[in-house]
Structures are given as structure tokens and as C-alpha cells.
Amino acid sequence: MFLLRKPILALSGSSAVRGAVSSAPLTRSVVDRFIPGETTADAVAAVSTLRAKGLQVTLDHLGEDTADRATADANVQAYLDVIAGLSTAGQVAGSEVSVKLSAVGQALIAAPDLPGGGNAYALSGACRIADAAYAAGARMTLDIEDHTTIDQTLEVLFDLRRTHPDVGVAIQAMLLRTPNDLAELTGPGSRVRLVKGAYDEPADVAFTDPDQIDLAYVRAMKLLMYGKGYPMIGSHDPRMVAIADKIASDASRSPDRWEHQMLFGIRPDEQERLVSAGKTVRVYVPYGADWYGYFTRRLAERPANLLFFLRSLATRG
């Protein structure tokens, strides 16, 4: 079933398939399992429900590969709105926002009136979000996208950290470059979310065998747990969850010095079990109308998610 990952990820780029899937009447009910809603109010309501259970949150306003400045600006504004919404609801302190730089303009092409190109545009949008988040008592982490964007994303990260040293970043264990990147990212206070990696990467830049990815994940966990930063272990894999607990204990890390992270709707019982066991758990809450790319990555990652989707189309369509 791992073999299906590549074709599904390839389909995520097809606009014909995007149209067909997005307009299928039953897609919505399946999407709801992974995404609590489209509006700021939906996101804030989901945060209130999760925090009442002792879970922490990081909010992702869905969007990626933005091709024009108006959409990039609207995505920045959506983050400012949700930060304000969290403040009004008394839910902002300790909450986090997760930002994809491609949503706020990283992919824009340099032009005479855009001399710095997309990365400069994304930096200025991300800066506005970080200013609002930290002024309100929240924090921010940069998501990480496909391998071609990583140098630019780390450049933006280090720029942002000049004014907001707490800004975090996701790092993908599957990439061969990751141990080098971690050497620069395990300093005091550095927040790093370790994930396996959700993109279809070529074998010259990434491990493609699942066992090798798991081994790389464990090696990276050790670097983070024995480093001086704040590790955020983003995985639903029961083995990685157990190994994280063991390494944290060996490294004498108390639950306030690292955290588990999982996606909204994936293993919710396990999220609550970990909270009951005294662990810090943060749930990544994606919301918004542009859910297609996120949704197809979730289908690609787990056979049961794909079967669940196909079964619901077959039985109710």
C-alpha cells in the first residue's frame, strides 16, 4: 500500500482531479474528519474544544503554492484574524500558528515591482504574522514543504528569529540533508518539529524506504532530545511515540521541555491518552477552504484513510 503513496501525491497536483474530488458531494463529510471547518469561528471553536481536554494547539490556515499577491495577502490576513479570534475567546496564550511560506508568497516570481522575489514577500508576510502572534501571547512555527524550498525557508526562519527567537520550524527526517540542518537548529531555545516528511521526494535527496525513514527519524530525535532546544515530535506512529518517550526520559527531559504533536482527527484517543499520562500534546488544526493539498497528503500517508474515503464514496455516492 506504501506503493500507492507516489501516485496519490502526484494526483494532488492535477487540477482535473482536484475539481472532481472537491465537487464530489461526499468528499466534504470525509474531509470533515481531518479539518474542523473553513472559517475563523470554526477554528476558534475547535481550539476551545481541544484545550478543554488539556490538548495544546497549532493552527494552520490552509493554503499553499499561492500564485498571486492578493491571495498571499489574504492568507496573512487570515492569520491575523484567527490570532484576534483566539484573543477574544481567551484562548491565545500558549496557542501557536503554523505557517507555510508558499501560502504567503514564497513561490511568487521576482518582478520589477517585486525585486526581492517571493522569499522577500513571504518574509514580510510571515513577519506580520509573527509580530501579531507574539504580541498576543501566541507563538509561531514554519511548516516545511518540498526539498526545493528548504534553503529559502531556513533563510526566512533565521531572519524571523532576529526579532522573535522563539519561532519554530518543521524538519523532515526523510531528507538526507537533515542531520546538517539540525546541527544549526539544536541551540538554546530552538523549537524544532520533527516529522517524517509528507512530500514525494527523489532518492537523490531523501530516504524513500519506510524503514530507513524510521531509522533517520530516531537518529534525529536523539539529536533534538540531547540538544539544547525544544523538540516537538510530530508523529502518529506508535513506535516513534514510544521511542520519543524513552529517549526523553534517558535525556532527563521533563514533559514541559518537549512535546508530542499530532494532526487533528488522527489518533484522537492516543492524543488524550498521552495527556492523561502527563505528556504535553499539541494538535495541528488545519482550517479553511483550500483543503485539497492537505487532504490528499493525508490519504497518501495511510491506507486506512484512503480506504475510508473510497468506502464512503462507494456506499453513499
Ligand X SMILES: Cc1cc2nc3c(=O)[nH]c(=O)nc-3n(C[C@H](O)[C@H](O)[C@H](O)COP(=O)(O)OP(=O)(O)OC[C@H]3O[C@@H](n4cnc5c(N)ncnc54)[C@H](O)[C@@H]3O)c2cc1C
Task: Name the site residues for ligand X (rule: CB under 6 A).
Answer: 143-144, 170, 172, 193, 195-199, 234-238, 240, 261-263, 266-267, 284, 301-302, 305
From the list 5, 60, 139, 143, the catalytic residue is 143
The least distance separating ligand X from the CB of residue 263, rounded to whole angstroms, comes to 5
How far, in Å, CA of 56 to CA of 260, rounded? 10
End-to-end CA distance of the chain: 24
Q: Which is nearer to ligand X, 7 or 19 (CB)?
A: 7
CA–CA dist 94, 134 (Å, integer): 10
CB 54, min distance to ligand X, A:
17
Dist CA 48 CA 56 (whole Å): 10
Taking the complex as a whole, how short is the minimal distance between the CB of residue 69 and ligand X, in angstroms? Answer: 23
Question: Which residue, 120 or 221, is less far from ligand X as judged by CB?
Answer: 221
Query: Is 143 considered catalytic here?
Result: yes
Question: Distance between CA 80 and CA 72 in Å, rounded?
Answer: 13
Residue 242: half-sphere exposure toward Cβ, Cα within 13 Å: 3
- Distance in angstroms (rounded) separating the CA atoms of residues 30 and 42: 17
Instruction: State the nearest-atom distance from the C-beta of 132 to ligand X, in Å.
Output: 21
Dig out the grid coordinates for 73 from the structure: 495577502
Please, which residue, 125 or 234, has the CB nearer to ligand X? Answer: 234
Is residue 273 flagged as an active site residue?
no
- CA-CA-CA-CA torsion sign (63, 68, 72, 77): negative
CA distance 191 to 229: 6
Measured from the CB atom, is 6 or 68 closer to ligand X? 6
Catalytic residue among 5, 139, 193, 282: 193
| Residues annotated as catalytic (active site), given as ranges | 143, 193
